[in-house]
């Protein structure tokens, strides 16, 4: 794995929260910087392609006491940031206290929500808002109602999500700390420029997360959701036109691979994995049975992606900022060491994979 000795981020360190000198150094040293926590698998966002198949009927919640122990362990091993997600993290009854405990241990928190934010939740976010609250993610796949209805079980939630976004900013939350997130699917691609322009021009976003559809959860082999390779390129190139050419060095990955190479995923049932997209086949432990320190040390090479990457991704001009999405490689090809099949820079990538 190539190392970087100087901060050559082409402006991304001023925009994207996953790019900074400290995280880069952690990646070089194969250390754990980030803990990605699925607080619950319960979710009301209604995404009909959900990679984890989450619904309002699901009811697995990480126990508060176990989370407190995990946070303390994470702080002791030098973890600097924690991602609170799900499902929808705000459906966990203790999410606010969990976030506060992490901050008290000097761990930064990013809260990745389904996008519908009740007034009480916005008030809680504002109470937490300090240098330790890294960002709040809001999931809106498209601003086009017709396309939204094709990828969501609850079409009325589009208006609720857009209203929530406005209300959060109206409460005084910085637009720089909101992270609009969308999944690239075939129905939403025709409106991708309109959607990205809305995030940037109307809502003041300085970073946007583009996640290519993955064949898992509800729609494991449903081709109607799969965007073409040219569609993925179209979305990323428009984002780069709006936010800067540096974004193109990430290929089709949402946030580059410093995050992925310094992250450990904790699922709602306590299982641990190097990445949520490699779970459950590559489960490496469980916090109800052991410590994250032990699991990380025993699986450091896998967790930090310190294995050879095959093909284009192993020798790309964008290394080490990007080594391709290991989740894409695993879900589409069954090999997490393969070159990313959803990146247009990979000459072996196909336009479509699902039949």
For residue range 80-109, list pLDDT tens digits in order.
999 999 999 999 999 999 999 999 999 999
Asked if 49 and 213 touch (Cβ cutoff 8 Å), the reply is yes
Do β-strands 263-266 and 271-273 pair in parallel, antiparallel, or remain unpaired? antiparallel
Q: At what angle do helices 95-104 and 119-128 cross, to 10 degrees?
A: 10
Residue 19, pLDDT score: 86
Mean of the per-residue pLDDT values of the chain = 94
pLDDT at 9 over 80: no
Residue 58, pLDDT score: 86
Q: Please compute Rg for the chain using Cα positions.
A: 19
Run of H or E residues at 147: helix 145-151
pLDDT at 174 over 90: yes
> Max alpha carbon distance in the chain (Å)?
49
Cα–Cα dist 258/320, whole Å:
8
Q: Would you place residue 217 in the very low, low, confident or very high pLDDT band (cuts 50, 70, 90)?
A: confident
Asked if 93 and 83 touch (Cβ cutoff 8 Å), the reply is no
% of the chain at pLDDT higher than 70: 96
For residue range 286-327, list pLDDT tens digits in order.
999 999 999 999 999 999 999 999 999 999 999 989 999 999
Enumerate long-range contacts of 171-176, CB under 8 Å, 24 or more apart: 171/122, 171/123, 171/125, 171/126, 172/126, 173/122, 173/125, 173/126, 173/129, 173/136, 175/203, 175/204, 175/205, 175/206, 176/204, 176/206
Q: Would you place residue 272 in the very low, low, confident or very high pLDDT band (cuts 50, 70, 90)?
A: very high
Q: Identify the structural domains of the chain with CATH numbers, from first to last.
A: 12-309 (3.20.20.70)
Residue 52, pLDDT score: 85
Asked if 140 and 163 touch (Cβ cutoff 8 Å), the reply is no
Conformational region of residue 307, where left means phi above 0, alpha means psi within -120 to 50, and beta covers everything else: beta
Do β-strands 34-38 and 263-266 pair in parallel, antiparallel, or remain unpaired? parallel
Residue 154, pLDDT score: 97
Residue 8, pLDDT score: 61
Strand order of the β-sheet with 263-266 is 209-212, 178-184, 133-139, 108-113, 81-85, 34-38, 263-266, 271-273, 285-286
pLDDT at 226 over 60: yes
Task: Give the number of other CB atoms < 10 A from CB of residue 309.
Answer: 22
Nearest to 185 by CA among 136, 134, 222: 222
For residue range 275-297, list pLDDT tens digits in order.
999 999 999 999 999 999 999 99
């Amino acid at each position: 794995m190539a190392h970087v000795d100087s901060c050559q981020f082409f402006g991304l360190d001023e925009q994207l929260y996953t790019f900074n000198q400290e995280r880069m150094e952690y990646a070089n040293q194969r250390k754990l910087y980030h803990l990605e926590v699925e607080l619950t698998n319960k979710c009301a966002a209604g995404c009909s392609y959900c990679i984890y198949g989450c619904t309002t009927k699901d009811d697995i919640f990480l126990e508060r006491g176990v989370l407190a122990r995990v946070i303390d362990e994470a702080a002791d091993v030098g973890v600097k940031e924690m991602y609170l997600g799900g499902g929808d993290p705000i459906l966990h009854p203790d999410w606010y206290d969990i976030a506060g405990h992490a901050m008290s241990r000097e761990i930064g928190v990013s809260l990745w929500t389904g996008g519908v934010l009740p007034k009480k939740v916005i008030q809680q976010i504002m109470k937490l808002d300090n240098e330790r609250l890294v960002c709040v993610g809001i999931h809106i796949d498209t601003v086009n109602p017709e396309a939204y209805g094709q990828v969501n079980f609850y079409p009325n939630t589009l208006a609720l999500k857009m209203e929530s976004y406005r209300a959060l900013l109206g409460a005084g939350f910085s637009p720089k700390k909101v992270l609009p997130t969308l999944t690239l699917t075939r129905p939403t691609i025709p409106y991708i420029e309109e959607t990205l322009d809305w995030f940037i021009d109307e809502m003041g976003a300085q970073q946007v997360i583009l996640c290519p559809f993955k064949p898992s959860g509800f729609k494991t082999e449903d081709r109607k959701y799969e965007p073409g390779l040219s569609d993925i390129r179209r979305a990323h190139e428009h984002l780069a036109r709006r936010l800067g050419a540096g974004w193109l060095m990430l290929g089709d990955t949402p946030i580059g691979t410093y995050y992925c190479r310094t992250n450990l995923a904790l699922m709602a049932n306590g299982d641990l994995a190097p990445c949520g997209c490699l779970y459950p086949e590559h489960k490496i432990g469980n916090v109800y049975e052991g410590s994250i320190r032990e699991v990380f040390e025993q699986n450091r090479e896998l967790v930090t992606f310190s294995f050879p990457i095959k093909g284009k991704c192993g020798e790309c001009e964008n290394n080490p900022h990007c080594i391709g999405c290991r989740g894409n490689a695993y879900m589409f090809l069954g090999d997490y060491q393969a070159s990313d099949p959803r990146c247009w820079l990979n000459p072996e990538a196909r336009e479509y994979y699902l039949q």
